Amino acid sequence: MSTAEIKPPPSRVAVSDIKYQSTGQGEITREFKSNVRGLRGLRGLRGLRGLRGLRGLRGACQQVKDDFALRLLVPKQTGKTLDAQPTLYWWVSQPLSEAEFTFILDKVPDTNNFEFSDPLIEKTLKMSVSAGIQALPLSQVEPDFRLEKGVEYQWTLSIACHPDYPSLDIKATGTIMRVDSSAQLSAATEYTVEEDLPFVYAQQGIWYNALDSLSEQIRKSPSQKLRQARVSLLEQVGLQKVADYGK
């Protein structure tokens, strides 16, 4: 991607007009699968068969509603970060109590290499979460792990519903690549006030830093202006369901 000219926001409120500059090229890497209807059908079967049915149905999946959704807050194509240990963001449509999630991070497979190996990170995370946007710092998942520059990684968050029915897993997948900051971007961020950093990162296509800096501002000092800026950012990459929730 060619480096776009960085134009500073004309005023502090201009951050609400945040624009994510994506190349729009390459394979779509964002995926999600939530087969809750199928799960509901099997639950009914369990009720009919009693203990002979789905006795192994796991905790969190007994809590989900028919319209439950899990999303990773990532663009359709691979999102970029400047950080070795970025904070990843995801979203659930309803609260979950003591849910077990599986987090997996690995290099995007080489289509010419058919060898299989264990993922770089595979962790079970037991969490109680409220409905809405969640933050997952990579440093908390695996403190010693660092993303390499120029390497494309795939990360997945999933809820396993039953050991015998993997097709019922609820999961979402996205990709990330760590890149160097250009000289122009480095100069711009050095003299940019914190409130305008999301604008600058988004303009240069640095998705993960744009979302993180904006979300951190919301966490520290929530306002309708900041929330609307995040809604706009999410809408631009097609995460309408998440954006609608945040309005």
Band of residue 14 on the pLDDT scale cut at 50, 70, 90: low
**Is residue 18 a part of any domain in this protein?**
no
**Is residue 79 a part of any domain in this protein?**
yes
Residue 131 token pair: 């409905």
**Is residue 188 a part of any domain in this protein?**
no
CATH number at residue 165: 2.60.40.10
What predicted TM-score, i.e. pTM, was given to this entire model? 0.85
Residue 162 DSSP symbol: -
Distance in angstroms (rounded) separating the CA atoms of residues 24 and 104:
26
Quote the mean pLDDT of the chain: 83
Q: In this model, does residue 149 exceed pLDDT 80?
A: yes
**Is residue 15 a part of any domain in this protein?**
no
Q: In this model, does residue 224 exceed pLDDT 60?
A: yes
Q: What is the DSSP string of 202-243?
A: HHTT-HHHHHHHHHHHHHHS--HHHHHHHHHHHHHTT-HHHH
How many structural domains does the chain have?
1
| Bigger pLDDT: 147 vs 193 | 147
- Beta-strand relationship, 152-159 and 96-107: antiparallel
**Is residue 38 a part of any domain in this protein?**
yes
Residue 58 token pair: 């796991």
User: Which of 19-28, 44-53, 70-79 is the least confident region?
Assistant: 44-53
**Is residue 209 a part of any domain in this protein?**
no
**Predicted pLDDT of residue 49:** 33
242 neighbors 133 (Cβ within 8 angstroms): yes
Domain that includes residue 95, residue range: 28-180+222-246
Across 29-43, 163-177, 231-245, which has the greatest mean pLDDT? 231-245
**Is residue 123 a part of any domain in this protein?**
yes
**Is residue 6 a part of any domain in this protein?**
no
